[in-house]
Amino acid sequence: MSEVRDELHHLIDSLPEDQVEQVLSDVRRRAAPRDVPGANAFAWIGSGVANDDVTDLSTNPEHLEGFGRDSL
């Protein structure tokens, strides 16, 4: 066990009983597993169809119009 974890155990053991529930709820919240977006979380970006039925604008920039078009 690391020194930091050992200190945490010691501090928790020294808490007054009336503070244990509040600390426990905070620790549970911190230790709860978190949902991490998967590889396909943003797969919908760029998946739409342009006005002229072009679906892959990343490889067909000539179909883009508007801001920044001249820099392509």
pLDDT tens per residue across span 26-64: 999 999 887 777 777 776 666 666 566 666 556 656 655
Domain parsing of the chain, residue ranges: 2-31
Could you tell me if 15 and 23 are in contact, meaning their C-beta atoms sit under 8 angstroms apart?
yes
pLDDT of residue 41: 72
Predicted confidence (pLDDT) at residue 2 exceeds the cutoff of 70: yes
Length of the chain equals: 72
More confident residue, 67 or 12: 12
Contacts of 39 (CB under 8 A, 6+ apart): none
Contacts of 62 (CB under 8 A, 6+ apart): 72
pTM confidence score: 0.42
